[in-house]
Chain A
C-alpha cells in the first residue's frame, strides 16, 4: 500500500483575490475509496480538475504515484482516469469509436480492448448501442461510455466527479461494485458526491470541504464518531469553528 494521491497545500485563486480552494491537503492511499463531500460551489470540482491536470493552480503541490502534476503531468495522466460530472464526449463519434480512441491513447492491444470493452459494456448494458452516434445517447448512456473509457486502461487512480448522477439504479449498483473490486486490487479512488449514504457505505475515508477549505478529513469512523455521515456533515457545515480531523 503506497500513497497514490497527495494534495499538499493546494490553493486556487480566481481573479487575484477569490479563493476557490484554500490550502487543501489530503492523502489517498492505494486501495482507498476516498469520498469528497461539500455543498455546491464548495470547491470539489475545482480540486478534482486540478488533480487530473486540467486546471492550473496557484499554490501547493499535487502528487500522483509520486509524480508532480505540475512538473510531470504526462506521468500522472498515464496512471489516472477521470470521469467528469457532465461528460462532454465527441457527439458525432459512435460509442465504440470513442472507446477505441481512448484505448489507442493508452496503447491497449486489440484483444485486450475487445475483452474489456465487452465486459464493461455488458455490465452497464450498453453493448447494443455502441454502434450508434453518441449524440443519440441519453445523459446516462454518455456517462456509461465515459465510465467504460475510464476503466479500459485499468488506472491506478480513478477520479470521479459526481459519478452516480444520471445513472440508472442498476448501473449505479454495478459501478459501486466495480469500485469495490478495483479497490481490492489496489486502485485508489477519489470521488465527489452529494449522496451521503453512498459515501458512508462505499468509502473508507472522506473529506468535507466548505468554501474552499477542508473542514474535516479522515476515516469514516473518525469523522462520524458514531453518528451518521449526514448528521456529521450538517453539523460541520453549520459550525463556525473549524474541525480538523486527520487520520
Chain B
C-alpha cells in the first residue's frame, strides 16, 4: 500500500505542470504552463456550462427526475470510451517500463497505479459534468445538504466501473495479441473492431431515445433513463441514493464497495500477465533475413509523408485514434449503400418533412463528420518528441517538414472521403456532375482539416511528453482543433440547408467549396508563417 501511494504520487508529480513551473528556469516554458492552465480552465468552464444548460433544458420540460441518471449515463459513457482509447498507452508499452519493473514493485502495483493515475487525470472532466448536473438538479428540486454531499462523493466513484471495464477489455485485447507474431497489428485490429462495436451500441442507445414526435420523446425520456439504469445497475445505485428513492443510501454503499472490489480483482488478474504482455510489446528480435533489393527514391515531402505513415502504423494508440474516423466513415458509407440515403437522412432529421434532394450538397459534410474528427497533423508535430533532432539536423526546411506531414494527412483522408462520397451519391442517386462537385468539396474539406490541424499542431507543439497519449488524446493541439472545426462544419451545414432552398445545387456546392478552400488556404498560409518564425 505504501509503495502504491509512493508510485502514484510520483507518477502524478512527474507529469504535473506545477512541478515544471516551480523548477524550470525557462521563462517561455513557464508561460506555456500558465497558458495550459488557462486553456484547461476555459474547457472546464465550457463543460460546466454545457452540463448546466442541459439540466436547464430537462428542468424546463419537467424532467428533473431524469437528471441524475442522465448525468451518470453521460459520465459512464465518456469514461468507458475514453479509457478504451487510452488503455494501451497508459497501462502497457510506456517508456519508463524498464525502470519501474526493475524496482521492487509487484506487477499488479504498477498496473494498478497506472490505472489510478489515468483515473485521477481524467477525474476533473467527469467532476465538471457531475457538479454542473448537481447544480442544475439543485436549482429545480432544492434538495437537502445530504443530497449534495452524497452526489459529490459518488461523483468520484461513478467513472471507476466503466473505466475498469474498458481497461479490462484493453487488457484482454493485449493478452490475445501477445499470442500472435504481429502483436501490434492484431491489437490495433481488435481494438478497432471493439470501438466500432461500441459506436454501434451508442447509435442503438441513441435511437432508443429518439422518436418521431417531440412530445412523445419527452414523455419517453423518463422511461428510457429508467431503462438505462436497469441495464447498468451502478446508475440505479447512484440515482437511488441521490434522489433518496428505492435503495437509498444502500445504493451509494453498493457503488463504492463494488468499485473497490472490482478494482482489486481486475488488477490481480492483470498483474499475472503484465510482464508477459509488456515483454511481447517492447521486445523485438531483428529478422536478419533482409536481402538488399532496388531502393525507391522519393521526394523530400514524400519521404516525410512515408515516415508519418510508419509512425501511424507503428503505434496502437495513434492508429486507433488517428484512423478511427476513416474506418467509421468507410463503414457508414457501406451501410448507407445497403440501407439507403433517405433512411439515413430520416434518422438524422428525426423524421422531419425535408426533401432529401435538398440535402444532397450536405453529403461531403456527412463523411467529414467522421473523417474530420481527428487530423494527424494536430499531433504529428508533437509526436516527433525526442526524435525531433533527426529532422532538425537534416537539411530540411521547417515548411517542407510540415508540408510532408500535411501531405500524409491528405493521402490518409482523401481516398476515404472520395469513397464515402461516391457511396452516398450512388445511394442518393445524385447525378455524375453533382457527384464530382461533391468530391471536390470533400477534398477541400480534407485540405481545411489538414491545414487547420497543422496550425494547431505547430502552434501547440509539445516535445517533452512522457506518454504519447498525452499528445494524441489530451494534447492542447487536439482540443483546440476540435471546437473551431466542429463550429465551422456546423456553420457550413446550416448554410447548406438555408441556401439549399434558394439556389441550385451546383451554385451552392461551388460557394461551399470556395469557403472550405479559402479556409484551407488561410490555414496553410498560417502554417507557413509559423514555420518562418520557428527558430530551429
Contact = CB atoms under 8 A, between A and B. Distances in A.
B23 A15 contact: no
Interface in B346-396: none
Nearest to B105: A105
A74 B106 contact: yes
A6 B41 CA distance: 55
Contacts of B95: 88
A105 B98 contact: no
Given A15-B181, A92-B20, A93-B19, A84 B98 contact: yes
A90 B12 CA distance: 11
Contacts of A93: 10, 13-14, 19
Contact of A53 (B13, B102, B285, B464): B102
A54 interface: yes
A87 B181 contact: no
B428 to A, nearest CB: 48
A53 B276 CA distance: 11
Contact of B104 (A97, A105, A135): A105
Given A88-B95, A92-B14, A105-B6, A20 B20 contact: no
Interface in B81-124: 95-99, 101-106
Nearest to B3: A105
A78 B280 CA distance: 25
B16 interface: yes
Contacts of B200: none
A133 B232 CA distance: 45
Interface residues of A, number: 40
B284 interface: yes
A94 B102 contact: no
Nearest to A101: B10
Interface string A34-58: 0000000100001001001111100
A106 B104 contact: yes
A101 B102 CA distance: 14
A18 interface: yes
B279 A90 contact: no
A230 interface: no
Contacts of B16: 92
Interface string A94-109: 1001000110111000
B15 interface: yes
A53 B19 contact: no
Contacts of A102: 103
A104 B6 contact: yes
Interface residues of B, number: 36
Given A90-B96, A104-B6, A132-B25, A82 B102 contact: yes
A245 interface: no
A30 interface: no
Max chain A C-beta neighbours (<10 A), residue from B99, B181, B466: B99
A91 B464 contact: yes
B474 interface: no
A132 B111 CA distance: 29
B104 A18 contact: no
Nearest to A104: B6
B214 interface: no
A75 B269 CA distance: 21
Nearest to A85: B98
Contacts of B15: 92
Contact of B99 (A18, A87, A106): A87
Interface of B: 3, 6-7, 10, 13-16, 19-20, 23-25, 95-99, 101-106, 181, 275-276, 279-280, 283-287, 464, 466
29 contacts: A14-B283, A14-B284, A15-B181, A49-B98, A49-B283, A54-B97, A54-B98, A54-B101, A54-B279, A55-B283, A56-B275, A56-B276, A73-B106, A74-B104, A82-B102, A84-B99, A90-B466, A92-B15, A92-B16, A92-B20, A92-B466, A97-B19, A101-B6, A105-B6, A105-B7, A105-B103, A106-B104, A132-B25, A135-B464
Given A49-B98, A78-B104, A105-B103, 13 more contacts: A15-B181, A52-B102, A54-B102, A55-B279, A56-B276, A88-B95, A90-B466, A91-B464, A92-B19, A93-B13, A97-B19, A131-B23, A136-B25
Top 4 closest pairs, chain A to chain B, by CB: A90-B14, A56-B279, A14-B285, A82-B102
